[in-house]
Amino acid sequence: NVRTCNIVVTAYAKEGQLLHAWRTFVDIPHRDETAWNCIIQAFVTNGELRKAEKLFAMMPEHTILCWNAMIVTNMQSGNLEKSAALFKRMPHRDIISWNALLTGDTRDSCFISARKMFGRMPMWSIASWNALITAYAKSGQDRLALGAFHSMQLQGIREEMETLAILLGSCASLTDLSQGKLIHSCFNVRHLNLRLQTKKHSRTMVSSALINMYGRCGAIRDAQNVFETTQDANAVLWNAMLAAFAANGHFAKATSVFWDMVFQGLHPTTSTFSILLSMCSHAGLWSEGYTYFLSMKSDFHLQPSEDHFVCVVDLIGRSGWLGAAEELLQSMPFEPGEVARLALLGAC
């Protein structure tokens, strides 16, 4: 039974048992399109691109599903030119084919080619709009990203969580509070309840983006409201709140957030200390900054990176302790890079 064999091939593929999947496929006496789709998808899913390409070439007739699988897989492997060549060879294309190529343009961070591709498309889906907005945002074209978002809304297309988080990043870069609040309101308008209807990862992503946006726009009270009303706050959210206070010059509150985080049993991350050290450097709190630096390894068992050393070199150097800063630079457990040396020179 071909249908049963196809189910078995798919099951083996999910378990990574490609040899068994292949043997099952070979034993099918009369392979239909679905059988070919299943075996090619099996190799694609398990990262065997070359074998999938050989099978694709052996197919008596290429299905649109297999065309799309090959385009997407080559795109994910960074073979953008090969994906484009496959796309051109396709006798028929669907929205998945177009979106696959559009997504490739967004990965290349080239908003111009992404915009051209978007304009050529015979139809658009939510994935198309998301890809265009992502391309704009990744290329630093934040106003264009917001413009695409408004066009998307006018067409009645529902935005996704990931898109809203990207747009909040654009608002933060532009320090555009009014647009940020408008996007925040979409959660209620579209009934996207952060507590009940979304996964924890998505809630964290959006909540941290909101806190960052409000913090960058100087709306610290709004940032606090988001933080305080978010359930299951993790280190990512604590770091976002810490950064918001630090960026707005509320150093005492930032310090308080750090210790509240520790007392609640959350382990600080290397990002936590990057924020603290940067804050201390800008505020001239050299003693506090050096204490945080030492506590990374002694109290929290975190290995300082070059970025942490650079922050402390800058901190100590700004305080006039050039000899100590140079000594710390030489004691780094890795070769000091250009950034580290420039930090010392900048303090002279």
Q: Are 277 and 312 in contact (CB under 8 A)?
A: yes
Helix, strand, or coil (residue 169): helix
- pLDDT score at 191: 44
- Give the global pTM: 0.79
Nearest CA among 173, 171, 145 for reference residue 159: 145
DSSP symbol at 265? T
Spatial separation of the C-alpha atoms in residues 2 and 30, rounded to whole Å: 7
In a domain, 51, yes or no: yes
In a domain, 54, yes or no: yes
pLDDT less than 50: residues of the chain: 191-192, 194-196
Structural domains in the chain (count): 1
Q: Are 126 and 100 in contact (CB under 8 A)?
A: no
Half-sphere exposure at residue 4, Cβ-oriented, CA atoms within 13 angstroms: 3
Q: Which residue has the tokens 């934040």?
A: 142
In a domain, 81, yes or no: yes
Q: Where are the beta strands (DSSP E) in the chain?
A: none
Spatial separation of the C-alpha atoms in residues 103 and 342, rounded to whole Å: 38
- pLDDT score at 341: 60
Contacts of 32 (CB under 8 A, 6+ apart): 2
- pLDDT score at 86: 87
The pair phi, psi for residue 194, each rounded to 5°, is: -65, -25
Helices assigned H by DSSP within 197-299: 200-216, 220-229, 235-247, 251-263, 270-283, 286-298
Structure tokens at 102: 């559009």
- pLDDT score at 288: 93
Long-range contacts, stretch 195-199, CB < 8 angstroms, 24+ apart:
195/231, 198/161
Q: Are 223 and 201 in contact (CB under 8 A)?
A: no
In a domain, 155, yes or no: no
In a domain, 4, yes or no: yes
Instruction: Quick: pLDDT tens for 31-62.
Output: 777 888 888 888 887 888 888 888 888 888 88
In a domain, 113, yes or no: no
Alpha carbon of residue 191 to chain centroid:
24
In a domain, 214, yes or no: no
In a domain, 15, yes or no: yes
Residue 38's domain comprises: 1-89
DSSP symbol at 4? H
Single-letter code of the amino acid located at 59: M
